[in-house]
């Protein structure tokens, strides 16, 4: 059984998707937020999951917050730490502590549009496709090895809200899949700095790369 710790800052919809997936061999050991008012904490409590708060406002510096956060995470013996809408930039020391077992989801097709306001920037750039990426976290923001991506078309009448909503649907598909692959031991970091999915059989007829299994 693999222990999963999920970090959130708000409603935690990706956290909910992972919990609801009921991934075999995975135990959601805790949901931790840096905000006491994060809506996702209530969901975690209702599911019988340990819900904890490490309020970043209580710490004078990022390093002190990250140290307290790591202490709380480690209390749950995590095999994997999942960032699910966790809106804090983490220090290099924190990222290195969980190297190879810290993943994030980003609402763009990385390396395009790292950082914030991805949907607005995609629309302003006039791209024809947009999407979402699950990646391992490295000290360089939004630049870690890609695990899986899902693509959505950008429609002529899209605005930020409509594009965001369509991307979010795909986030809820691919994040549980990435966690499942990790739990199954199928994610292999390559010497070239990429990710290989063991026994992957990728087709050419889908929008998700690699494809989400049924």
The set of catalytic residues is 106
Q: Which residue has the tokens 């050419």?
A: 204
Rounded Cα–Cα distance for residues 152 and 161 (Å) = 14
Which token pair is 41?
């904490």
CA angle 113, 188, 88 (to 5 degrees): 40
Strands 187-189 and 195-197: antiparallel
**Residues 202/211, Cβ–Cβ less than 8 Å:** yes
Q: Prior bond to 111 cis, omega within 30? A: yes
Rounded Cα–Cα distance for residues 35 and 51 (Å) = 12
Distance (Å) of CA 52 to CA 30, 40, 45, 160, 199: 7, 11, 10, 32, 37
- For the stretch 124-128, contacts whose Cβ atoms lie closer than 8 Å and that sit 24 or more positions apart, written own/partner, are 127/154, 128/153, 128/154
């Amino acid at each position: 059984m693999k222990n999963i710790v999920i970090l959130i800052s708000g409603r935690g919809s990706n956290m909910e998707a992972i919990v609801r997936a009921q991934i075999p061999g995975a135990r959601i050991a805790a949901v931790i937020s840096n905000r006491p008012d994060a809506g996702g904490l209530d969901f975690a409590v209702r599911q019988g999951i340990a819900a904890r708060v490490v309020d970043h406002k209580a710490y004078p510096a990022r390093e002190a917050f990250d140290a307290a956060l790591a202490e709380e995470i480690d209390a749950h013996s995590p095999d994997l730490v999942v960032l699910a809408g966790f809106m804090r930039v983490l220090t290099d020391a924190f990222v290195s502590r969980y190297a190879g077992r810290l993943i994030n989801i980003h609402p763009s097709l990385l390396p395009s549009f790292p950082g914030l306001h991805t949907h607005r920037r995609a629309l302003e750039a006039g791209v024809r496709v947009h999407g979402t990426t699950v990646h391992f976290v490295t000290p360089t923001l939004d630049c870690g090895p890609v695990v899986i991506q899902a693509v959505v078309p950008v429609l002529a009448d899209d605005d930020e809200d409509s594009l965001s909503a369509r991307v979010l649907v795909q986030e809820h598909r691919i994040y549980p899949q990435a966690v499942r692959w990790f739990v199954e031991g199928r994610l292999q970091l390559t010497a070239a700095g990429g990710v290989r999915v063991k026994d992957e059989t990728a087709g050419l007829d889908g929008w998700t790369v690699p494809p989400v299994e049924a």
